[in-house]
Each structure stands twice: as C-alpha cells, then as structure tokens.
Amino acid sequence: MSHLLRKFSKPPTIDPHRLQDGLDHLELCEMASNNHTRQQQETERFIVLQISPSLQQQEEETPLVAAATAVEDDEDLDATIPVATATAVTPAGGAARRQATASSQQETRCRSGNTDSKLMALDPLAQTIQREAASSRMDTFVQEIGKFCGKEAWDMRAKYCFIASENLPWNLPDAWWDDLVL
C-alpha cells in the first residue's frame, strides 16, 4: 500500500462531498465482496481518484490497479504519509464514533433504515436482519448471526451485529431483552 501513500507526499485538496462518496464506496466494497484482493484494489483506485483528482490523468495513462499488484515494497510508510493533514485534526472531541457512516457534524442519524440501501441489496441476510430488527423481531436473525463463529466468520458476525443494532427501534426496554430466550 505504500505506493498509494507515496502519492500523498503533501496534503491533497479535498472536497468533503467527494470524500463522503469515498466512504460510502468503501462501505460498499466491504459489504459487497468476499474477494478482498478485488475489494482492496477497487478501494485504492477509488481513493486515488477521489482524494487527488489531479491523479486522474495519471490513472488513465497507467491503471493503478495493475500498478498495485506489481508493487510489493511496503516499507518506509511514515516518510510519505501526509502529516500536515493529520495534524489538522486536533479539536477536543470530534465526530461520532462511526468511521464510515454519517459525515458532517450537522447530520442527525435516523434510526431505522439507516443502513445504505445499496449495501442491503447486495446481501440477503443483511436485508433480513434489517427488516426483522426494524420490526423488533430478534429471535430469527440472532440465530443466523450466531452461526457465524470461528476464524473465518468473526468479522461477519460483528458486521451483522452492527446491522441489527443499527436497525432496532430506539429505547427498547430492558425487559424486552431480558425476555429473549435464545
């Protein structure tokens, strides 16, 4: 990945809206595919195009995806990361905890249906979890989530827990949880 970071030898100019598109795209990649090589290549390519539009011309001349697979030297990371951009992030506090969801500080999250519909369309189980959670029906989907265990499945388990939580109605009483016998 250092080949990517080297391109950012100085802080790029960023359009926040384009960057939000990038975050959305990243989520889409995460959700869409179990092919992580493809996922990573797509994301790297996208970041270069979104964050540094001036590189688009270079991208057209030499496709980055092809370059990415060829470059294997991943050393001297810290020499090329845009420190100046990072140090700009110094206020006490910050945006909400999600790294890849709502963008601006002005936004207020909607509860039900918050998860991007594009993501849902790609994952039938996620669709089921979203629908059932929004209706406060937990027993079926939690059993499905419970099936994801073991080395290759923990990440999926966490993802589906996230989707379930995100789509449950607000302020469920403790009794609702306590009554679940699963």
Biggest distance spanned by C-alpha atoms of the chain: 61
Q: Which is nearer to other proteins, 61 or 93 (CB)?
A: 93
Residue 157 interacts with other proteins (CB under 8 A): yes or no: yes
C-beta of 62: minimal distance to other proteins in Å?
20
Residues 161 and 138: beta-carbon distance below 8 Å? no
C-beta of 117: minimal distance to other proteins in Å?
19
C-beta of 107: minimal distance to other proteins in Å?
7
C-beta of 175: minimal distance to other proteins in Å?
13
Question: How many whole angstroms separate alpha carbon 87 and alpha carbon 45?
Answer: 25
Matching residue, tokens 């980055």: 64
| Angle, helix 154-167 to helix 124-134, in steps of 10 degrees | 30
Residue 65 interacts with other proteins (CB under 8 A): yes or no: no
Question: How many whole angstroms separate alpha carbon 180 and alpha carbon 139?
Answer: 8
Q: Which of 61, 62, 97, 175 binds other proteins (CB under 8 A)?
A: 97
Question: How many whole angstroms separate alpha carbon 175 and alpha carbon 83?
Answer: 49
Residues touching other proteins, count (CB under 8 A): 75
Which residue, 12, 164, 176, is CA-closest to 84?
A: 12
Residue 123 interacts with other proteins (CB under 8 A): yes or no: no
Q: Which of 56, 107, 137, 140 binds other proteins (CB under 8 A)?
A: 107
Q: Which is nearer to other proteins, 121 or 172 (CB)?
A: 172
Residue 77 interacts with other proteins (CB under 8 A): yes or no: yes
Token pair belonging to 25? 């795209």
Interaction residues for other proteins, span 25-54 (CB under 8 A): 26, 29-30, 36-37, 39-40, 43-44, 47, 51
Which residue, 109, 153, 108, 112, is CA-closest to 130?
A: 112
Token pair belonging to 58? 């270079």
Residue 15 interacts with other proteins (CB under 8 A): yes or no: yes
Residue 172 interacts with other proteins (CB under 8 A): yes or no: yes
